[in-house]
Amino acid sequence: MGGAWAPGRALAALLLTASALSAALLVPGAPPEPDADAAQPRDVDKKNHIELKMDQALLLIQNELPKTNLTVYWTSDRCYHCLPQVLASVSRSGKPGKLSTTAVAVSTQHKSILQLNDTLDDKELCRLEYEFGEFGNYTLLVTHVHNDASEIACDLLVNKNPIDSNLPVSIAFLIGLMLIIVISLLKFLLSLDDFNNWISKAMHSRETDRLINSELGAPSRTGPLGGHDAQTETWPSPAARLRCVDTFRGFALIIMVFVNYGGGKYWYFKHASWNGLTVADLVFPWFVFIMGTSIFLSTTSAIRRGCSRLKLFGKVAWRSFLLIYIGIVIVNPNYCFGPLSWDKLRIPGVLQRLGVTYFVVAVLELLFAKNLPDTCALDGRILSLRYLMSDWPQWLIVLMLENMWLGLTLLLPVPGCPTGYLGPGGIGDWGKFPNCTGGAAGYIDRVLLGEDHLYQHPSSAVLYRTEVPFDPEGILGTINSIMTAYLGVQAGKILFYYKDSTKDILLRFGAWWFALGLVSVILTKATENEGFIPINKNLWSISYVTTMSSFAFFILFILYPVVDLKGLWTGAPFIYPGMNSILVYVGHEVFESYFPFQWKLEDSQSHREHLTQNIVATAVWVLIAYVLYKKKVFWKI
């Protein structure tokens, strides 16, 4: 992206993408599992009384065995060590050449594993793996091989081809890429004197200047970019801020808004059911990481201006309280079930975790921060760890908290569950521990907070069919959230103390990226489920922290030279929501059900329509953030 990506055009591109999708895409789709906002299903096969929902296909199981009743078991290949579930029972045909047919709906989100057993003795007759396509029509024919009663054949036939449910995402991506290329090319042409002279001959020079500055011009590098204590105020000049930090924060926030609004109802824009990562699992730790970076930069700046640490502590405590209060009272998900009920109020949450994490990390910096020189780059040691050694008390406390997480997670006895259990419970682990979801993390939350005050519909319920409440923002995971933010503090220290040496900054970003990535590989054994501590967003596992922080250092490794050093990209449009992050996050939660963020869809079983709606809703928040930026309004608690 060129450094001249204009704000007006960038925002128009997002809106144009949404409108183009709405008008051009003709492909239906959305998730198969029961969903609170999934409306009426499609009646695909009236003869068999099967109504298909999004991400489902019709499977006709035909039994030609005259003397054998069939039990068909199903599991997803994404469900690790899962107890197979009964999909259907098919009676015997009764006579040779006659068919007994049962129709069922099957999931198309992942590859399905089908196992056909003899109902009488539960003996496995055949097994097959297949990835069904959305709204496809299939037949599974079970018969003898050449009339040999000792050998069974299971043949899968396609009666009706499925649709390409990922087509809307592909088209949206291509439209967005095309717009970026066109805008970047136009900006390049406008930077050429000859092209500008040619334009000047075709139109009034004043009109040309207005077009360049208002529609295609990037925000001035001498304009206001920041703010501190007041709710609406003018922020300091860009010299006092790092645009890559705001850009990274805005990037994470916009993806968060998009996936919170539904992400087109695609499974990869929803949280992983248990271990592993999806797009939705990336953004929250990045937001926490960059919050840690901002904590260091703002705290250091305030102390250097002579602000009292006691006064700063009061501001930290107040902001933390407001974050927790807003999370519990204003954006609580239990409002979906009616008026606020203190008996059913969810206590943990995203803003609550941010509030606690912010308080702990900011207080550590206030208590132990030292007055170090403006730069460490002049000490001549490329591998200097001075910025690390200076805050050994903070590291000691953070590592003590991390040891507490490890001790409780791996050693705390949980009634009815194996010690150190990290699984999802439900039908996972062959159904042996159905009520052990999350092990110690789930147990601590249920004991200290109560089941009624936790998240009632965890992502593990989708594949693992868990029935106990589990909160992904629970108490134990907040410890690792603090670790994530403190790793972000290290990024802030690098940017501040080595600001005179780009080489030193990039070297240290690269070192953190590699070191944390190596730790992740060791902890996970480079696998999704077989490692010592798998990557798990629900548990906020330590491997999740190291992996996401490794990615974060890599992103800063790219953004810093591109955005701040060379000025090749202004950070638009992400920088605008990044500078009004609390307003955008709270606003998108509170106004989620209002137009233009949501409206009644013609086909609620269409990925295309959901994707269009979610892109428009996200783009509107970018536009709101842009307007506030232009008016120099920045809301901060």
Q: Give me the chain's average pLDDT, please.
A: 84
pLDDT exceeds cutoff 70 at 386: no
DSSP 329: I
Catalytically annotated residue among 49, 81, 271, 610: 271
CA 26 to chain centre: 27
What are the tens digits of pLDDT across the range 391-424?
A: 889 999 999 999 999 999 999 999 999 999 999 9
Tell whether omega for the bond before 424 is within 30 degrees of 0, i.e. cis.
no
Q: Calculate what percentage of the chain has a pLDDT beyond 70.
A: 81
Quote the pLDDT of residue 14: 42
pLDDT exceeds cutoff 70 at 10: no
Measured over all CA atoms, what is the biggest interatomic distance in the chain, rounded to whole angstroms?
A: 92
Following DSSP, what letter does each residue of 446-493 receive, concatenated?
Answer: HHHT-GGGS-SS-THHHHS---S---TT-HHHHHHHHHHHHHHHHHHH
Residue 271 is a catalytic residue:
yes
Token code pair at residue 190: 């406008």
Under the banding of pLDDT at 50, 70 and 90, the label for residue 460 is very high
Q: What is the mean pLDDT of residues 450-466?
A: 93
Gap between the Cα atoms of 421 and 560, Å rounded: 40
357 against 185, higher pLDDT: 357
Under the banding of pLDDT at 50, 70 and 90, the label for residue 229 is very low
Burial class (CB in 10 A: 0-12, 13-18, 19+), 176: middle
pLDDT exceeds cutoff 90 at 11: no
What are the tens digits of pLDDT across the range 286-340?
A: 999 999 999 999 998 888 888 889 999 999 999 999 999 999 988 877 665 667 7
42-160 carries CATH number 2.40.30:
no
Rounded to two decimals, the pTM is 0.84
Strand-strand pairing, 42-45 and 50-52: antiparallel
Gap between the Cα atoms of 443 and 433, Å rounded: 13
CA 153 to chain centre: 43
What are the tens digits of pLDDT across the range 516-537?
A: 999 999 999 999 999 999 999 9
Token code pair at residue 587: 């606003």
Q: What is the mean pLDDT of residues 131-146?
A: 91
What are the tens digits of pLDDT across the range 183-226?
A: 888 877 877 777 667 766 665 544 444 443 433 333 333 333 33
**CA dihedral (318, 301, 254, 280) positive or negative:** negative
Q: What is the mean pLDDT of residues 444-465?
A: 93
Domain boundaries, the chain: 42-160, 238-630
Location of structure tokens 């004991």: 447
Question: What are φ and ψ of residue 231, in 5° steps?
Answer: -70, -35
